[in-house]
């Protein structure tokens, strides 16, 4: 699947191929597109006026988008760890979808961000 920029995608954010990054199936395309747009908006909001290389922004969008996507397939609160058919992903994604992107963006954002 190719990189997409849906209408809800923030202007100025680089397009990413979240579908390939999370290895999503074709039936998840709408959800993956929504996750990518939401991730790009979160990253855009955090960046503000900071100057960050495009490759770093793309990586941050992929990390946030993957976290949002994995929430759907994780086993949060499930008690089905013994059944491999219903187990899903036993790892819980970070509660803050931005958690995996902080280490990537921190050098460019400077101190004092909350």
Question: In whole angstroms, what is the distance from residue 99 CA to residue 17 CA?
Answer: 20
∠ CA 22-5-8 to the nearest 5 degrees?
Answer: 105
**Upper half-sphere CA count for residue 56 (Cβ side, 13 Å):** 14
pLDDT at 59: 95
Res 1: pLDDT:
43
Task: Provide the pLDDT for residue 2.
Answer: 46
pTM of the model: 0.75
Residue with the two structure tokens 């760890």: 81
State the Cα–Cα distance between residues 80 and 78, nearest whole angstrom.
6
For 1-45, write each residue's pLDDT tens digit.
Answer: 445 455 678 888 999 999 999 998 889 899 999 999 999 999 999
User: Cβ(13)–Cβ(60) under 8 Å?
Assistant: no
Q: What is the mean pLDDT of the chain?
A: 79
Query: What is the structure's pLDDT at 36?
Result: 94
Mean pLDDT along residues 92-100: 75
pLDDT over threshold 80, residue 53: yes
First and final CA of the chain: distance in angstroms?
Answer: 35
């Amino acid at each position: 699947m190719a990189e997409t920029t849906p209408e809800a995608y923030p202007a100025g954010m680089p397009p990413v191929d979240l579908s390939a990054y999370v290895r999503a199936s074709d039936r998840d395309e709408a959800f993956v597109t929504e996750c990518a747009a939401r991730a790009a908006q979160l990253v855009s909001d955090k960046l503000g006026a900071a100057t960050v290389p495009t490759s770093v922004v793309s990586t941050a969008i992929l990390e946030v988008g993957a976290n949002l996507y994995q929430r759907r397939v994780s086993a949060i609160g499930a008690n089905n760890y013994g059944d491999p058919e219903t187990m899903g992903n036993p790892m819980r994604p970070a509660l803050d979808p931005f958690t995996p992107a902080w280490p990537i963006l921190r050098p460019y954002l400077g101190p004092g961000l909350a």
